[in-house]
Amino acid sequence: MELADEIRIAAPMHVVYAALNDPEVLKQCIPGCEELIKHSDTELEAKVVLKVGPVKAKFGGNVTLDTAGAPEAFSLTGQGNGGTAGHAKGGADVTLTADGDETILVYNAKAEIGGKLAQLGSRLIQSTAKKLAAKFFKSFAEIVSQEHAA
């Protein structure tokens, strides 16, 4: 499954990049996030509760950041386990482009799922993933824009 989108954020690129590396900001934006622990500048651990169709699961997982192209570009990979509900793994490439006092964030993400979740059907999974991604980036844009304006 692949997801891609572009979002405009009313804050300079360095502010957006810093927020993308701030566990407190990310925790507020990730739907269902109960815990987000930063182990290092490139290693995060998350606990997330998600409901996909009739399946509700608590996922525990790790995310690794590759900041080689930062702050203009970086990528992340992660995997999570939801016990009997299944598992997921994937990654995303993110690019940031300055546009005056605003930043354009573009992401391309890929994900693979298995277990009960995979049995729900690709259309349900795809639509849920798109909703979750849209919710994350909408929340992220609002929080970063508000903090920058303050």
Nearest to 140 by CA among 1, 54, 22, 58: 22
Task: Answer whether the bond into residue 71 is a cis peptide, omega within 30°.
Answer: yes
Identify the pLDDT of residue 102: 96
* pLDDT > 70 in the chain, percent: 100
Domain that holds residue 26: 2-149
Residue 90 — pLDDT band, cuts 50, 70, 90? Answer: confident
Number of domains in the chain: 1
pLDDT digits (tens, 9 = 90+) for 15-53: 999 999 899 999 999 989 999 999 998 999 999 998 888
pTM above 0.75, yes or no: yes
What the block records as the tokens of 91 is 């990654």
- Please give the radius of gyration of the chain, using alpha carbons only, rounded to the nearest integer: 15
Q: Quick check: helix, strand or coil at residue 148?
A: helix
Statement: residue 123 has pLDDT above 90:
no
Instruction: Please tell me the least confidently modeled range out of 15-19, 42-46, 76-80, 93-97.
Output: 76-80
Nearest to 22 by CA among 143, 133, 109: 143
For the domain that residue 92 is a member of, what is the CATH number?
Answer: 3.30.530.20
Eight-state DSSP code of residue 125? H
